[in-house]
Amino acid sequence: MTSAAAEQASPRSLPQPLTAICLGLVVVGAAAFGYGLTSDPQSAWLAYHSNFMFYATLSQAGVILACIFVATGAVWPGPVRRIAEGLGAWIPVTLVLAAVGYFGGDYLFEWKREGAVHGKEFWLNETRFYVMDLGILAVMTVLSLAFLKASVRPTLKAAAPAATGFARNMIERWTAGWRGDEEEREASWVRTRNLAPLILLLYAFGYSFLAFDQIMSMEQTWYSNLFGAFIGWGGLLSAVAATALISVLLRKTPGFEDEITKSRLHDLGKLIFGFSIFWMYLFFSQYLVIWYGNVPEETQFLYDRLGPQFLIEKGFSVTAWANAWVDWDWSWARLSQDYGWLSMSVWMCIWILPFWVLLGEVPKRTPWILGPVAGIVLVGFWLERNLLIWPSVLKGDGWAWLGPVQIGVAVGFLGAFTLVFLLYTRIFPSISLPERS
């Protein structure tokens, strides 16, 4: 890859209308959150927490995707790896947001407000919770930034002359002690190759604990060993979907035309398809034992979300299914209880729709099909994070997650995340790769 192509794809100025819109969204979000704190602090903090978890897993999993590419020696992604890495620019923000979340802890966690249930005091207490979770996030931030730095360094020298201001200072500092293109590529390869497996392992363990603490402990009497894997896997799928969506959006940007090829989109589509099946597989393997066991301690979590529809005993017998087609009404009525419709939307967005649409080869290779499907998967995960968080606190109120403050906080997060992504991809070259020649 010539440096000229890298320059073209990395214009040093931010795309103007988009940046202004993002800044506007951030202002709207901050205002909505501030207003929410005075009017309905619980909803404001629940919305904050849902969005925090969505973008935390999404951004960390972006780096995880890049680490998987490096650890497996994958060459098919090409500059798609840079897009996945760009998602990781949000990781330091996650750490800050997690620390800010301390102030909303009383609204989110029953154990923090009223004390842990008997037998869980050792685990569910403020000191253990915040030291461990912030520690995990801090370690992940340091390692992820080290990975990103090692990964972009070989491409920086060629980009330096075109850089201005802050970017130029940063690039000059980061490329100090340049040893020549070949040596830098080799060094980058060795360093990323060493860091990748470490980050992958820490994601599996660290984000499992984060999922247990930040989401599962909200319903403190419920537990599931699979929950960490479910959240971590959801993060990875949302990162793949975000990468696919951004690839589709960037496919006509100068420099990217020959890089975002149909076969690369095909591969991303295959990943979304397979990962989505595995997401449902993880859910089902947990759901089945809870359904069969039918112990209140275990069913409570599913009952709050799916409603009684998927837990009753008669609903799944063959005759009951046959009756359901005759007497259609009973199922819809039960779905309207609790968070039933939100749960159905999540299944629709993350599993049913990607499965049937991306089943064939042609839809995976068609940008205007793959892009919207990836976008719907992302919306599905945003809904899923809400679905996992809201019913733990506001039981039975199926539409509590939707409201002006909630939407304001959501667009604020969206604007901030897009802004951070834009800044990162404009400072660092997003096309040329430290490939081993």
Partner 1 sequence: MPTILSVFERPDHVAAAVRKLKGRGFDDLETYSPAPFEEIEEAMDNKPSLVRLFTLVGGLLGVLTGFAMPIWMSWDWPVKIAGKPFASIPPYVIIGFELTILFGGLLTLVGLFIVGRLAPRKLDPGYSLRFSAEDFGLVVTVPDRDVAEVDSLMRAQSAVEVTLVDG
Binding site for partner 1 (CB under 8 A): 284, 287-288, 291-294, 313-314, 316-321
- In whole angstroms, give the CA distance from residue 412 to residue 52: 11
For residue 308, the 8-state DSSP code is G
**Nearest to residue 97, comparing CAs of 64, 60, 65, 127?**
60
Q: Kindly state the smallest distance separating residue 307's Cβ from partner 1, in Å.
A: 16
Q: Kindly state the smallest distance separating residue 364's Cβ from partner 1, in Å.
A: 15
Q: Count CB-CB contacts under 10 A for residue 23.
A: 13
Is 377 within 8 Å of 276 (Cβ atoms)? yes
Q: Tell me the backbone φ, ψ of residue 59, rounded to 5 degrees.
A: -70, -45
Which pair of tokens denotes residue 362?
């042609």
Give the nearer residue to partner 1 in terms of CB position, either 34 or 360. Answer: 360
How long is the chain? 437
Q: Kindly state the smallest distance separating residue 301's Cβ from partner 1, in Å.
A: 17
Q: Kindly state the smallest distance separating residue 240's Cβ from partner 1, in Å.
A: 22
Burial of 328 by CB count in 10 Å (0-12 exposed, 13-18 middle, 19+ buried)? exposed
Q: Kindly state the smallest distance separating residue 313's Cβ from partner 1, in Å.
A: 6
Q: Identity (one letter) of the amino acid at 29?
A: G
Is 143 within 8 Å of 202 (Cβ atoms)? yes
Give the nearer residue to partner 1 in terms of CB position, either 130 or 287. Answer: 287
Q: Kindly state the smallest distance separating residue 381's Cβ from partner 1, in Å.
A: 23
- In whole angstroms, give the CA distance from residue 253 to residue 256: 5
Give the nearer residue to partner 1 in terms of CB position, either 317 or 336. Answer: 317
Q: Kindly state the smallest distance separating residue 121's Cβ from partner 1, in Å.
A: 33
- In whole angstroms, give the CA distance from residue 365 to residue 248: 10
Give the nearer residue to partner 1 in terms of CB position, either 74 or 132. Answer: 74
Give the nearer residue to partner 1 in terms of CB position, either 249 or 280. Answer: 280
Give the nearer residue to partner 1 in terms of CB position, either 187 or 324. Answer: 324
For residue 306, the 8-state DSSP code is H
Distances (CA, A) of 200 to 60, 143, 394: 10, 11, 35
Give the nearer residue to partner 1 in terms of CB position, either 319 or 437. Answer: 319
